[in-house]
Amino acid sequence: MTDSFSIALAQINPTVGDAEGNADKLLAARAEAAKLGADLVVPGELAISGYPPEDLVLKPAFQAACEAAAKRVAEATADGGPAVLITTPWRENGKLHNAALLADGGKIASLRFKHDLPNYGVFDEKRVFAPGPLPGPVVCRGLRLGVMICEDMWTQDSAECLHESGAEILIVPNGSPYESDKLDERANLAVARIVETGLPLVYVNQVGGQDELVFDGASFVLNADKKLVAQAPSFAEGISLTRWQRGTDGRWSCIDGKVEKPPEGLAAIYRAMMLGLADYVNKNRFPGVILGLSGGIDSAISAAVAVDALGPERVRGVRLPSPYSSQHSLDDAAETGKLLGMRVDTVPIEPAMQAFDAMLRRLYNDKPPDITEENIQARARGLALMALSNNLGHMVLTTGNKSEMSVGYATLYGDMCGGYSVLKDVYKTTVFALSKWRNENFPVGALGPKGRAIPERSIAKPPSAELKPNQTDQDTLPPYDKLDDILMCLVEKEMAPGEIARRGHDAATVARVQRMLDLAEYKRRQAPPGVKITRRAFGRDRRYPITNAFRPKP
């Protein structure tokens, strides 16, 4: 029986589908942990396949690739170094499981399968995996470890079963995506499991971006007294070594671990946006990004995030003025580029507007100019950006925010053109707050220049699409502070219109916003992916029918 033990929390950034590369990452983490004297290395959930693998994991060839990669990691433990908890898809008795394999001494010593498969929000695991039985402990070098894979910690059954069957430390490999205020929820659930079992708990989360999800790491250890004794950095790969000791009462405690304070609020949101964009661009092998710079706040903060995530040399901005573009907007767009150190080109769209008018005017039946001409401006800009993307290889970033996408204040095949949306899950009021925050702070890990990043006038001036003279967003929308509160009630909280009106909003305005939200579903279905920030992101979290006759009563 051992009385001391060292566990390395391996926060790695896997790429979905790259089983061989992910195995290399895990082996590199093991090599680093070995130098620190670790006995066991624990990564996040499905470290071999990447998480979430979605329907890719249904391919037999991919299942075989994951198993071969997992066996290669297991064989590497024959060198006498640390054991590894290998998290991977695994086939057993004709069923596919979300599994954890304890590898030591060159072989797979134990297998455990995820029992509680989540099937809500962004998760669809019942679609691809079979549930395992309630787990019993695995023995690693004399220590009985209770392995609970991610969702198994969210409910009490697995923890209770492990406690009753003699587990001494709870180990929880995770693939828990970032959301605002998610850290508190994770900690509260971990505390609940500790209260129920009296056991210390090790929580290891993956880090990195995967399509619309960002995994923020922030792995942690809580002792049996519920005290936080170790926390890994957020939004960064790394190895965190924790040293454990068996007390005279036979109970284990973590006696040595470093606590890194996680970022909160706007700082966390900004870093999630940076990491999500960087991994989307880099993992999909784009040389860089290109975006339209209007001089407004949305394109300015999108450019700032892009430069901070990728470096100014990989970001190109384009001013696309029409006859309605103000000189101050052109100047603000130029200042954005100067502040961020990025290249900015100018492509006037008036020739395209004239060409489309000449092509289509005879079919307009002498109707006066209306939204048709406004949308042509947006589509001409989208066409120009997509042409530059094709020519240069850079991915186009869209710059619309969640408030606009909620109410359909966006043009299909126009400002919605692009491969990725930095602000997809960020309300307009948060856009203002993030812009002010970035001007006063330099994000950890940023590749952009220090100091002010957003022109002050872009923050201060009334938002406008500038598609006709003297236009502002508030011509057709409520003020953004009111609009966002209504939208948060409708989208995040699923509140009825009458409840929202009782918060102090005009009932007719609430009904109009509700109708705009419902009617814009077809646009959102065609929108590019973007970083999930809130509990109810459009797409994965909030799935509504396009054809929908339901209208809630006031």
> To which H or E segment does residue 245 belong?
strand 238-246
Ordered alpha helix ranges (H), 199-296? 265-283
Torsion of CA 216, 420, 52, 272, to 10 degrees: 0
State the catalytic residue, choosing from 25, 45, 428, 523. Answer: 45
Does residue 9 contact residue 39 with C-beta atoms inside 8 Å?
no
- Beta-strand pair 220-222/83-92: unpaired
State the catalytic residue, choosing from 150, 161, 254, 489. Answer: 150
Give the separation between CA 225 and CA 222, rounded to whole angstroms.
Answer: 8
Specify whether 114 is catalytic: yes
Q: What one-character DSSP code corresponds to residue 394?
A: P
Give the separation between CA 97 and CA 84, rounded to whole angstroms.
Answer: 18
Give the separation between CA 22 and CA 40, rounded to whole angstroms.
Answer: 18
State the catalytic residue, choosing from 66, 67, 114, 374. Answer: 114
- Tell me which residue has tokens 């990043």: 453
* Residue 229 DSSP SS3: strand
Give the separation between CA 391 and CA 394, rounded to whole angstroms.
Answer: 8
Q: Which residues contact residue 470 at a Cβ distance below 8 angstroms, ignoring those fewer than 6 apart?
A: none
Give the separation between CA 424 and CA 405, rounded to whole angstroms.
Answer: 8
* Residue 225 DSSP SS3: coil
Write out the two tokens for 324.
């309605």
Specify whether 45 is catalytic: yes
Specify whether 402 is catalytic: no
Handedness of CA 335, 338, 341, 344 (dihedral sign): positive
Q: What one-character DSSP code corresponds to residue 371?
A: H
CA 289 to each of CA 56, 86, 281, 398: distance values in angstroms, whole numbers, following the listed order? 27, 35, 8, 10
Provide the annotated active-site residues: 45, 114, 150
